[in-house]
Structure 1
Amino acid sequence: MLVCGVDDAGRGSVLGPLVIAGISIEKNKIKQLVKIGVKDSKQLSPQSRERLYEKILSIVDGYYVAKISPKMIDKNVNKNLLNQLEANYMAKVIKKLEAGSSYVDSCDVNPKRFGLYISNIAKTGKIISSHHADRKYPVVSAASIIAKVSRDREIEKLRKNHDLGSGYPSDSKTMGFIKNWVSQNGDVPIFVRKSWKPVKILLKSST
């Protein structure tokens, strides 16, 4: 039976896409993921993630990566629908992978509600929704690595032309980049999320 794992990367970032990735694998092959050392991507160095990324793709039976643009994120955050947006994309990934059961890392405070929402959209197989699923289930750990590497590669493309820092609002380099851009252009670049509070403050102070 095919089992699916789904996770996100870049939810808290102030720029770039929110990436949703899923992998599908025959249940009897999950031990191979454990053997190569998959774990929550946040616990791995960038070099380890890149190395594991290639190994994961050589083991799994299928994978799918969806990227949500800053514009789409802003549209939904402004309506207080970010969790629903993420659930919709997780359902899309699950439908593509057609597994008998799917494990997802819940971004909702209520994992059961999040799982039911995905299930109602995906209408395929069983959905197991949990907090910290990327630490509990190797299939979600593998998905978290695929998501993180995919997002890191998107950010690297931006770094070729911009000195961005990490992309997170706690990074003074990132916020300095956005502040300078706003002061010079009166708005943020298309890859920055306008709906994030620190960005709203910068935009408001520039008017």
Structure 2
Amino acid sequence: MEGRTGEEPAWFNEPCILGIDEAGRGPVLGPMVYGCAFCALSQKARIAGMEFADSKTLTEEKRETLFEALKEDTSIGWAADVIHAKDLSSQMLRSEKKSLNAISHDSAMGLIRGALDKGVNLVEVYVDTVGDPEKYEQRLSEKFPGVRMTVRKKADSLFPIVSAASIVAKVTRDRALRAWVFEERGVEYGRQFGSGYPADPETKTWLAANVDPVFGFPSLVRFSWGTCKPLVAKLCVDVQWENDDEDESESTSARKNRRYESAAPGRHSYFKSRQLQQVTTHL
């Protein structure tokens, strides 16, 4: 988790507000990032005048400028939780599957807990919703009694502290993509992958060109996304797993996709990161 470091300022003891937003929930490439920003309640009006806005409405240059200003401002705290593509997919495809909403909720609660653990006297928290806002708000209120929770749709355009969190999340994700170093050895991947969103033709072309018939996609790719499954079925070799005999009715494409769902300890990181397990085939 990234964030402001150093000695905690005195204003942490004052009543404080915190906003939370995410970036990169929908793309098939790269991390999903949850960001938060927080400040003393007495600074609420000043934050409203700092030109923070929904990051999607700002140019990249403006977002970068605002983020650097936020980092230099000692009256504002911030943190970011970067959840990488392979971690998202591993959680969503493991035997006890975890939904993207559940992953998102856990990340948001982790940011709130992180601020409280630093000694921030949180009295109000504002969150851009994932799922039903009323249920989400109730869950947060039960998890953090004594903190007034406000969960809304489009919170990044309603509350300046959430707008600031939106800047944190978006810039952190953009920088992570620009600085991305492919961990796969001996393979050259182009970087012309477009926006990373499933509907982007450039992204779809890049995915089709960079799927290995045995090892699948590089670690930049969220291989659990629906965009990837037909490519695996079409372009990857079939894999016979030891437990295939238990369910002979399972389709070929389903068996191919399930290649990602098992792993063993002590194996090369390439296999472990993709949840691949070696099996023995008797001819």
TM-score in terms of structure 1 length:
0.91
Q: Choose between structure 1 and 2 for higher RCO, CA contacts under 8 A separated by at least 6 residues.
A: 1
* 1:105 and 1:132 in contact (8 A); partners too: yes
Counterpart residue number, 1:192:
221
- The correspondence for 1:75, drawn from 80, 90, 96, is 90
CA distance in 1, matches of 2:144, 2:113: 6
Counterpart of 1:2, as a letter, is C
Shift of 1:184: 6.5
Name the CA shift for 1:158/1:165 in 2 (closer, same or farther; >3 Å).
Answer: farther
In the TM superposition, residue 183 of structure 1 has moved relative to its aligned partner by 5.2
Distance 1:43 1:159, change over 3 A: farther
Distance 2:113 2:98 in 1: 25
Q: Paired residue for 2:165?
A: 143
Cα distance in structure 2, aligned partners of 1:84 and 1:51: 32
Where do 1:2-81 residues align within 5 Å? 2-59=16-73, 60-78=75-93, 79=97, 81=99
Structure 2 spans left out of the alignment, 5+ residues: 1-14, 117-121, 183-189, 237-283
- SS of 1:36 mapped into structure 2: coil
- Contact kept? 1:6, 1:20, Cα under 8 Å: yes
Provide the C-alpha distance between the structure 1 equivalents of 2:153 and 2:85, rounded to a whole number of angstroms: 25
* Residue 86 (str. 1) matches residue 104 (str. 2): yes
CA deviations over 1:119-144 (Å, ceiling 9, x no partner): 44455622211111001000000000
Query: 1:116-195, aligned counterparts within 5 Å?
Result: 116-122=138-144, 125-158=147-180, 162-182=191-211, 186-195=215-224
CA shift at 1:7, angstroms?
0.5
Separation of aligned partners in 2, 1:144 and 1:54: 14
Q: Please report the RMSD computed on the Cα atoms of aligned residues, expressed in angstroms.
A: 2.0
Report the secondary structure of 1:197's partner residue: coil
Contact kept? 1:188, 1:194, Cα under 8 Å: yes
Task: Give the 3 Å change call, closer, same or farther, for CA 76–65 of structure 1 in structure 2.
Answer: same
Query: Is the 2:31–2:82 Cα contact (8 Å) retained in structure 1?
Result: yes
Alpha carbons 2:54, 2:163 under 8 Å: kept:
yes
1:58 and 1:32 map into 2 onto residues whose CA distance is 15
Matches of 1:103 and 1:57, distance apart in 2: 20
Question: What is the CA–CA distance in structure 2 between the aligned matches of 1:162 and 1:169, rounded to whole Å?
Answer: 16
* Native 8 Å contact 2:213 2:235 kept in 1: no
Shift of 1:116: 2.4
CA contact 1:10–1:151 (8 Å) conserved in 2: yes
Q: Which has the larger radius of gyration?
A: 2
Q: Secondary structure at the match of 2:81?
A: strand
Aligned to 1:103: 126
Question: Structure 1 residues 151, 123: CA separation in 2 closer, same or farther (over 3 Å shift)?
Answer: farther
- Distance in structure 2 (CA, Å) of the matches to 1:156 and 1:88: 26
CA shift at 1:15, angstroms?
1.1
SS of equivalent to 2:86:
helix
Distance in 2 separating the partners of 1:124 and 1:189: 44
Amino acid at match of 1:95: R
Rounded to whole Å, the distance in 1 between the matches of 2:172 and 2:213 is 31
> Among the aligned pairs, what percent are the same residue?
30
